[in-house]
Amino acid sequence: MTTDQTPTYVESGKEFDRDMNYIPDRITADGRDGWPVEPGRYRLVAAKACPWANRAIIVRGLLGLEDVISLGMPGPTHDARSWTFDLDEGGKDPVLGIERLQEAYFARYPDYPRGITVPAMVDVPTGAVVTNDFPWITHDLYFEWRDHHKEGAPNLWPDDVREEMDDVMKRIFTEVNNGVYRCGFAGSQEAYDSAYDRLWTAMDWLEERLTDRRFLMGDAITEADVRLFTTLARFDAVYHGHFKCNRNKLTEMPALWGYARDVFQTPGFGETIDFDQIKAHYYVVHTDVNPSGIVPKGPDLSVWHTAHGREKL
């Protein structure tokens, strides 16, 4: 890990408030934002360590867009400046030729004032970032790149449950995806207690919802499952201890744990999970939460491959 600066995440006395002001441009079939769908033109930069980026990796694979949109993968640790391509030969992305994702942001916005985040879609010809608006990235991979989906690609946004799915995804984002961060980056006991209670209210809701249905919206995987899965995959390895989300482990919730293994064992999901990178990212980068930088050896991750028995649902 480079240490030009130490990134800080916990603001003393305050609750964690995620900055959701992302670059709003979208890559669309009609090119209305100036970025038309064009095979080979864009590179998805997405670190395996990051749950938000993990979503984009999964959706790209499920839809069969690997030969249409290339994938750049930064390493799991970074400093306050940027994600870096330290896993690539010479420490440079082999397509973009850059050492830091920050360079793609500065190629478009020389004074870009916000965090350098993944996932990011980068315009290969110019080397400039197009967007880092992660909810729209996966949405548009499905809706705007349809002409390039593989045959038999899953319907991640089914019309018949769309309205309910929007509500489910909103609650999952605010209470679970972001809820674990509110716990981990709480700057006061009061902020932590509130975040903890909100998280576990939502986890209990999910446990109940998944008791009698195989996936969040029924009998098929949707975008909602992609969004929940990347948090659940990190729960026992990181969030339970590192973020103090420790009422119980995921493995102690029968429906949620069975569901998580079911999704993990579905082609396109488990192979995107790198637990070593995940643990390295959280335990090394978050020095204000884990100042020692020690990465735990556990938990036993072979349990993800055990039978889940949810086919009967």
Assess whether 181 carries a catalytic annotation. Answer: yes
β-bridge pairing 42-45 and 70-72: parallel
> d(Cα 246, Cα 239) in Å, to the nearest integer?
8
Specify the amino acid at residue 253: M
Contact at 8 Å (CB) between 126 and 12? no
> d(Cα 92, Cα 116) in Å, to the nearest integer?
17
Q: Which residues contact 235 (CB under 8 A, 6 or more apart)?
A: 180, 245, 249, 250, 260
- At 248, give phi and psi (nearest 5°): -160, 170
Of the listed 42, 142, 181, 196, which one is catalytic?
Answer: 181
Assess whether 196 carries a catalytic annotation. Answer: no
Of the listed 50, 192, 239, 282, which one is catalytic?
Answer: 50
- At 48, give phi and psi (nearest 5°): -60, -25
Measured in residues, the chain has a length of: 313
Contact at 8 Å (CB) between 231 and 182? no
HEC letters along 286-309: CCCCCCCCCCCCCCCHHHHHCCCC
- Six-digit token string for 205: 């809701």
Catalytic residues: 50, 181
